[in-house]
């Protein structure tokens, strides 16, 4: 055990008398600098994207109303959460919301929309700029305006007063594989039950909101995080990076792929989604359900087998169940896999979990076909087959 | 609020420390420390602040009444009531769920159905503060300490934030005088910051890097021979740097606040034999178990069979203290049995003639095997993992980051040092001050950058 030598007071030198005070002063100065930076620096300086800045805690209005974010240095969630700054790919993004806190850039209030879009962050268009948002792309394919309620919980959106004024007939509900797996996880039983779970309220203060993205942490990310990542230590958030293409892969998605959900869980999820489609049907709305695969599913061949587990049977299994329940369903997996194997642009941002404008264009083209298809054919559950 | 999180390092501690140091050890400083400690604890779950207050109040009154009473029967009854209350709270929150599971497994058929499962959230640090408050009442009963004069001082002793959630388990006698009056001088500040910085580096650099090696191996369903050994070694080193790092931070913070907490580690992997190991590992728990369990059971005074029984019971309960799981019970029993063997061979141990290095390596191997059981989620996984360690035919190289071997080698060198700190204050040169500042900055950079991995011992 280390013992502490004592030196008589009159023999003490300056390091001994002043050292402790200086060390403590250094510590307090760091705390002060961090606090001042957090209070005075604009949040945009240390937020890497629009999402945290734009999100609201209101179920019907998922984003701040009439909000505009513009940046040339938006970067991906995986690179930032894995604390690997050198793997960031900067892009320009404009993110605009309307008076209802929904992402409908340039929407005219007197417009009507036969088709509306619901869904998660993929349908909102995290990382992509206003001109590439899915609803806008789908509208161009259909040659008619499409209104987006994406980001809002489905049943909350369907009780929105504005929906009646739009005169909607078709609902395109797009859900990413990660969202679907979370909804279908038996460990999280009940999450899918109403599919109308209110968004988690976000703390309003800047301290709370940027807990993971605060100035001191951003600083240490650059110093330490990148060094560790470069030395081969992969954090659980991003256990694998494809050096050749610069693509990062999500640990959550890979763990989900290795854990095959039991058939009952998939059946239960399909039942919930079918129930939602029936609720919509009773309101005179036809549903087109779009299942969007994860990046780890589409680019599986770039990931070592030990990390991704066996064949991914989740989306095919869910599609089978949904078709059996007569829910018009479009599983984008085979379409995306086909596109990924060609030499075209990437379908997912390398440093992020979300899809690129190219993937959105492809999806919009196929979804437009499903929307145009007559209800009789979709009721037979042929949308999925048609896509193949 | 973890010690290496931004909330603690750059917000809570500076905001607390400045006014605390300005109070200069006055009586008000205990009130301020008490309030800050409850705020600190509320950061996890404010609902359980009431539980600490309840535990504190029970032992406060029990100890006062014990001290006032001259009747041995009354004193004894009060002591038993206080211990029963403390153990009941601990038992309900920590072991009720496990007890129901065991009852259902053993007697499910007889009970014509199952006892409903009890699912309560484990209050952080409950094992530590319960043992601390129990030791106070027992010491007052034994007459080795006088009861605290002020409730605030006693509540401060139980809930002091540097050691509230994961020890060291402090005895009242060790902080009694500081609770009454304390002076914080330049040496206290130097020692405190230095020890905290050392602990921060142990935890944030070594502990967390070793976790990145050990966790995937323990998570894999079927590790190969080499992977299993690397995983076991990485966890054995991780748990040391994680817990010793936390203890260093707690001791350093205590010193900054004017308290001298007891050491919790003394180069445990240099131990020669298991008795030596338990004198060096989690010292405040092993001495607690010795003074309040092993010795009252009869210790080594009642013949060999009774010694063996006492050793096994003490270590079994020591294992169970870590958590309500069969793996901890088996780990405790394993150490109990090894201590019995060592005791039986005392004086005629043929291994004693081997060189110290060989005996040290053998002890380390036994400790490492025990930690495989400790780390595993259940006994069947532990058994499979140990099986992989004895099947060299399945020699599949583990997928390790390029620097994993460097981290393992560096951690081994540091774990086998004789001292818990690289150098010791007081500083006579500016170089030592600069080196400590560097340790603090590097530790903070790693601590803030990490995923705020919880300390292993927080779950106990």
Tens-place pLDDT, residues B103-126: 777 676 665 556 666 566 667 788
Best of A14, A15, A39, A251 to disrupt the B interface (most B CBs within 10 Å) is: A15
For residue B158, what pLDDT is reported? 93
A108 CB burial (10 A radius; 0-12, 13-18, 19+): exposed
**A326 secondary structure, DSSP code:** T
Instruction: Provide mean pLDDT across the span B67-82.
Output: 92
How far apart are the CA of B324 and the nearest CA of chain A, in angstroms? Answer: 22
* Cα–Cα distance for residue pair A214/A216, rounded to 1 Å: 6
* Cα–Cα distance for residue pair B360/B341, rounded to 1 Å: 17
HSE-CB at B327 with a 13 A cutoff on CA atoms is: 18
Query: Are the Cβ atoms of B402 and A12 closer than 8 angstroms?
Result: no
Query: Are the Cβ atoms of B440 and A1 closer than 8 angstroms?
Result: no
Query: Are the Cβ atoms of B403 and A225 closer than 8 angstroms?
Result: no
Query: Are the Cβ atoms of A12 and B193 closer than 8 angstroms?
Result: no
Partner residue facing A28 (CB), from B14, B445, B451? B14
Closest among A58, A173, A71, A189 to A118, alpha carbons compared: A173
Partner residue facing A23 (CB), from B212, B433, B448? B433
Query: Are the Cβ atoms of A24 and B193 closer than 8 angstroms?
Result: yes
Active site residues of B: 322
For residue A12, what pLDDT is reported? 64
For residue A124, what pLDDT is reported? 94
For residue B160, what pLDDT is reported? 92
Q: Do residues A85 and A222 lie in contact, with contact meaning Cβ atoms separated by under 8 Å? A: yes
Partner residue facing B433 (CB), from A6, A15, A27? A15
> Two tokens at A342?
């060609």
Query: Are the Cβ atoms of B186 and A28 closer than 8 angstroms?
Result: no
Closest among A290, A307, A294, A293 to A352, alpha carbons compared: A294
What chain A residue is nearest to B435 in terms of C-alpha separation?
A23
Residue with tokens 């001088």: B185
Closest among B145, B169, B143 to B157, alpha carbons compared: B169
How far apart are the CA of B271 and the nearest CA of chain A, in angstroms? Answer: 13
**In the predicted structure, residue B163 carries a pLDDT above the cut 90:** no
For residue A139, what pLDDT is reported? 96
Partner residue facing B426 (CB), from A16, A26, A211? A16
How far apart are the CA of B200 and the nearest CA of chain A, in angstroms? Answer: 13
| pLDDT greater at residue B421 or residue B290 | B290
Evaluated on CA atoms B124, B129, B131, B133, the torsion sign reads negative
For residue A347, what pLDDT is reported? 96
Out of A64-68, A106-110, B129-133, B321-325, pick the least confident: B321-325
CB atoms within 10 A of CB B341: 13
Where helices occur in B91-142 by DSSP H, the ranges are: 96-107, 126-142
User: Which residues on B lie below 8 Å from A18 (Cβ)?
Assistant: 186
Q: H or E stretch including A176?
A: strand A170-176
For residue A188, what pLDDT is reported? 43
Closest among B1, B456, B457 to B210, alpha carbons compared: B456
Partner residue facing B190 (CB), from A20, A211, A235? A20
Closest among A60, A188, A179 to A121, alpha carbons compared: A179
* Cα–Cα distance for residue pair B4/B448, rounded to 1 Å: 7
The answer to whether the bond into B271 is cis (omega within 30° of 0) is no
**A84 secondary structure, DSSP code:** -
Q: What is the largest CA-CA distance in chain A?
A: 97
The SS3 call for residue B2 is coil
What chain A residue is nearest to B9 in terms of C-alpha separation?
A31
Q: Do residues B189 and B390 lie in contact, with contact meaning Cβ atoms separated by under 8 Å? A: no
Please give the ipTM for the structure prediction: 0.76
* Cα–Cα distance for residue pair B424/B261, rounded to 1 Å: 16
How far apart are the CA of B13 and the nearest CA of chain A, in angstroms? Answer: 9
For residue B298, what pLDDT is reported? 84
Residue pLDDT, tens place only, B255-288: 999 999 999 999 999 999 999 999 999 999 999 9
For residue A132, what pLDDT is reported? 95
Phi first, then psi: give them for residue A276, nearest 5 degrees.
-60, -40
Which range among A233-237, A373-377, B13-17, B405-409 has the greatest average pLDDT?
B13-17
Residue ranges for chain A with pLDDT beneath 70: 1-12, 43-46, 59, 155-156, 184-214, 310, 374-388
Query: Are the Cβ atoms of B449 and A221 closer than 8 angstroms?
Result: yes
* Cα–Cα distance for residue pair A192/A182, rounded to 1 Å: 8
Best of B7, B10, B17, B287 to disrupt the A interface (most A CBs within 10 Å) is: B10
User: Which residues on B lie below 8 Å from A23 (Cβ)?
Assistant: 189-190, 193-194, 433, 436-437, 440
* Cα–Cα distance for residue pair A99/A102, rounded to 1 Å: 7
What chain B residue is nearest to A207 in terms of C-alpha separation?
B7
User: Which residues on A lie below 8 Å from B425 (Cβ)?
Assistant: 4, 19-20
- The alpha carbon torsion through A75, A80, A83, A85 (nearest 10 deg) reads 10
For residue B349, what pLDDT is reported? 74
Best of A9, A21, A24, A222 to disrupt the B interface (most B CBs within 10 Å) is: A24
């Amino acid at each position: 055990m280390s013992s502490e030598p004592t030196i008589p007071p009159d023999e003490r030198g300056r390091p001994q008398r002043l050292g402790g005070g200086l060390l403590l002063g250094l510590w307090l100065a760091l705390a002060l600098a961090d606090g001042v930076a957090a209070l005075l620096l604009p949040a945009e300086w240390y937020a890497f994207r629009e999402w945290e800045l734009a999100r609201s805690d209101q179920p019907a209005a998922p984003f701040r109303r009439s909000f505009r974010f513009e940046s040339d240095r938006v970067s991906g969630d995986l690179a930032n959460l894995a604390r690997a700054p050198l793997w960031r790919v900067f892009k320009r993004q404009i993110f605009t919301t309307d008076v209802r806190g929904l992402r409908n850039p340039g929407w005219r209030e007197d417009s009507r929309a036969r088709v509306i879009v619901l869904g998660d962050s993929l349908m909102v268009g995290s990382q992509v700029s206003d001109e590439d948002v899915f609803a806008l792309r789908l509208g161009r394919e259909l040659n008619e305006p499409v209104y987006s309620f994406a980001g809002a919980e489905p049943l909350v959106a369907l009780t929105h007063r504005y929906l009646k004024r739009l005169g909607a007939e078709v609902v395109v509900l797009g859900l990413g594989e990660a969202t679907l797996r979370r909804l279908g996880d038996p460990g999280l039983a009940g999450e899918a039950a109403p599919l109308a779970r209110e968004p988690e309220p976000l703390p309003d203060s800047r301290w709370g909101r940027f807990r993971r993205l605060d100035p001191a942490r951003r600083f240490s990310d650059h110093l330490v995080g990148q060094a560790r990542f470069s030395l081969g230590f992969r954090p659980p958030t991003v256990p694998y990076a494809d050096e050749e293409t610069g693509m990062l892969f999500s640990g959550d998605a890979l763990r989900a792929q290795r854990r095959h959900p039991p058939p009952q869980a998939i059946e239960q999820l399909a039942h919930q989604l079918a129930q939602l489609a029936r609720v919509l049907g009773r309101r005179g709305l036809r549903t087109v359900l779009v299942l969007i695969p994860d990046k780890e599913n589409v680019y599986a061949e770039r990931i070592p087998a030990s990390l991704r587990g066996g064949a991914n049977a989740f989306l095919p299994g869910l599609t089978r169940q949904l078709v059996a329940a007569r829910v018009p369903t479009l599983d984008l997996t085979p379409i995306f896999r086909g596109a990924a194997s060609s030499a075209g642009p990437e379908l997912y941002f390398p440093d992020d979990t979300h899809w690129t404008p190219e993937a959105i264009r492809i999806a919009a083209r196929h979804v437009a076909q499903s929307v145009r298809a007559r209800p009789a054919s979709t009721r037979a559950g042929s949308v999925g087959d048609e896509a193949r | 609020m973890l010690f290496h999180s931004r909330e603690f390092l750059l917000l809570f501690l500076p905001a607390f420390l400045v006014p605390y140091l300005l109070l200069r050890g006055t009586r008000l400083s205990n009130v301020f420390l008490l309030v800050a400690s409850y705020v600190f604890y509320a950061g996890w779950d404010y609902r359980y602040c009431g539980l600490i207050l309840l535990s504190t109040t029970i032992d406060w009154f029990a100890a006062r009444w014990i001290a006032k009473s001259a009747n041995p029967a009354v004193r004894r009854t009060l002591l038993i009531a206080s211990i029963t209350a403390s153990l009941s709270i601990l038992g309900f929150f920590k072991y009720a769920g496990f007890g129901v599971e065991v009852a259902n497994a053993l007697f499910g058929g007889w009970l014509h159905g199952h006892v409903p499962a009890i699912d309560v959230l484990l209050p952080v640090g409950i094992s530590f503060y319960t043992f601390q408050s129990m030791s106070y009442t027992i010491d007052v009963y034994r007459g080795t300490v006088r009861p605290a004069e002020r409730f605030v001082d006693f509540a401060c002793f139980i809930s002091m934030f540097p050691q509230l959630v994961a020890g060291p388990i402090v005895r009242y006698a060790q902080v009694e005088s500081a609770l009454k009056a304390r002076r914080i001088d330049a040496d206290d500040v130097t020692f405190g910051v230095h020890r905290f910085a050392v602990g921060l580096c142990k935890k944030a650099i070594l502990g967390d890097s070793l976790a990145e090696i050990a966790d995937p191996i323990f998570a894999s369903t079927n590790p190969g021979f080499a992977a299993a050994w690397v995983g076991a070694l990485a966890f054995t080193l991780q748990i040391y740097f994680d817990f010793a790092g936390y203890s260093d931070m707690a001791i350093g913070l205590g010193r900054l606040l004017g308290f001298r907490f007891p050491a919790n580690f003394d180069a445990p992997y240099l131990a020669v034999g298991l008795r030596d190991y338990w004198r060096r590992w989690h010292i405040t728990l092993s001495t607690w178990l010795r003074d309040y369990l092993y010795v009252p059971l009869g210790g080594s005074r009642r013949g060999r069979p009774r010694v063996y029984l006492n050793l096994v019971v003490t270590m079994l309960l020591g294992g169970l203290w870590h958590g309500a799981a069969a793996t901890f019970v088996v780990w405790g029993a394993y150490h109990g049995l090894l201590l019995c063997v060592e005791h039986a061979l005392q004086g005629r141990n043929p291994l004693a003639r081997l060189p110290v290095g060989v005996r040290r390596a053998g002890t380390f191997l036994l400790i490492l095997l025990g930690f495989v059981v400790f780390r595993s989620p259940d006994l069947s996984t532990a058994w499979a993992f140990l099986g992989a360690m004895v099947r060299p035919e399945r020699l599949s190289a583990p997928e390790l980051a390029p620097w994993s071997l460097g981290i393992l080698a560096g951690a081994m060198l540091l774990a086998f040092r004789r001292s818990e700190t690289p150098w010791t204050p007081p500083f006579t040169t500016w170089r030592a001050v600069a080196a400590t500042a560097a340790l603090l900055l590097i530790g903070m950079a790693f601590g803030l950058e990490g995923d705020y991995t919880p300390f292993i011992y927080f779950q106990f």
